[in-house]
Amino acid sequence: MAGCVFCDILRGSSPASVVYEDDEVVAFMDTYPVYGGHTLVIPREHFDDLESCPGNLAGRLFEVSARLGSAIVDAVGAAGFNVWTANGSAAGQEVFHLHLHVLPRFEDDTFGLRFPKGYPQVVGREELDRMAELINSRL
């Protein structure tokens, strides 16, 4: 897709330090790593986000991410890793070519999610059931 920095990498018109590639999936080092070993996993075909990606391909992205996570932990001496994706700008997505971050984590690192004020709130079963039904009706 024109104007997509990840498609530029796939075309070879932008540099990347490729960790892994196959016919569907490519993984390369994040240019701005949170910690050393921070890797991005993308589909070769351009999809804006997780919503628009076929399920079997999304599964491949997670499969590769899990394998990479183990390798990254071993390579950098991490204690664990996160796999996550941002879906939409409100969720923090900046590059609109689906990508999974594989981020090594350490026992004493300072990276983390920030919970909203007032968290945690006690939510009753009735409200949880109502929300489950609301979401399920849209699947």
The catalytic residue positions are 99
For residues 56 and 50, give the distance between their C-alpha atoms in angstroms, rounded to a whole number.
11
Pick the binder of Zn ion from 6, 28, 47, 81 (CB under 5 A). 6
30 phi and psi, to 5 degrees? Answer: -65, 135
Task: Give the pair of three-digit tokens for residue 58.
Answer: 């999304």
Q: Name the H helices within the chain.
A: 5-11, 55-76, 125-136
Piece of 2-10, 49-57, 86-94, 127-135 that binds Zn ion (CB under 5 A): 2-10
Piece of 46-54, 71-79, 83-91, 121-129 that binds Zn ion (CB under 5 A): 46-54
Site for Zn ion in 71-100 (CB under 5 A): 97
Shortest distance, position 76 Cβ to Zn ion, whole Å: 28
Task: Give the pair of three-digit tokens for residue 121.
Answer: 């709130």
Q: Do the Cβ atoms of 97 and 1 come closer than 8 Å? A: yes
Shortest distance, position 13 Cβ to Zn ion, whole Å: 12
Nearer to Zn ion, 4 or 76 (CB): 4
Residue 105 binding Zn ion, by CB under 5 A? no
Residue 46 binding Zn ion, by CB under 5 A? yes
Shortest distance, position 98 Cβ to Zn ion, whole Å: 8
Q: Do the Cβ atoms of 93 and 86 come closer than 8 Å? A: yes
For residues 106 and 78, give the distance between their C-alpha atoms in angstroms, rounded to a whole number.
5
Nearest to 31 by CA among 107, 99, 113, 84: 99
Shortest distance, position 94 Cβ to Zn ion, whole Å: 13
Contact footprint for Zn ion (CB under 5 A): 1, 4, 6-7, 46, 97
